[in-house]
């Protein structure tokens, strides 16, 4: 259910990304343009940004957000809220999380781990 809802929402909010052009006018591969191993985010940077995204979610009391917080059990969010948080994380880190992975991300801990280990997170 959440996956179908997420897909329906994404069909309406996705915007095609422009292709990157280098200074010489040649096209860069999106992987090279968006990320490199030299600028990989530290786990602390990822954690801070994940917590900021969750704290700014409208239904969340920011004082309850910790790196170990579970979205539904601790914050009282529902599955749609969970989808919206994952979408906000995708936007924040400029990456796409496949549906089969997105449904598993139900806490700050899992979000931090997933994003930290994602090679395209920026």
Nearest-angstrom CA–CA distance, 78 and 114: 21
Is the separation of the CB atoms in 71 and 81 below 8 Å? yes
Q: What's the token pair of residue 46? A: 């990822």
**Residues that are catalytic:** 78
Residues in the chain: 122
| Radius of gyration for the chain, computed over Cα atoms and rounded to the nearest angstrom | 16
């Amino acid at each position: 259910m959440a996956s179908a809802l997420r897909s329906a929402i994404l069909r309406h909010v996705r915007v095609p990304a422009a292709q990157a052009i280098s200074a010489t006018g040649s096209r860069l591969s999106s992987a090279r343009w968006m990320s490199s191993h030299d600028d990989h985010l530290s786990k602390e940077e990822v954690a801070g940004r994940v917590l900021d995204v969750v704290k700014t979610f409208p239904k969340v009391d920011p004082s309850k957000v910790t790196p170990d917080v579970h979205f539904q059990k601790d914050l009282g969010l529902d599955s749609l809220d969970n989808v919206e948080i994952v979408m906000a994380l995708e936007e924040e880190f400029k990456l796409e999380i496949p549906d089969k992975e997105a449904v598993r991300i139900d806490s700050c801990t899992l979000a931090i781990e997933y994003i930290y280990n994602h090679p395209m997170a920026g």
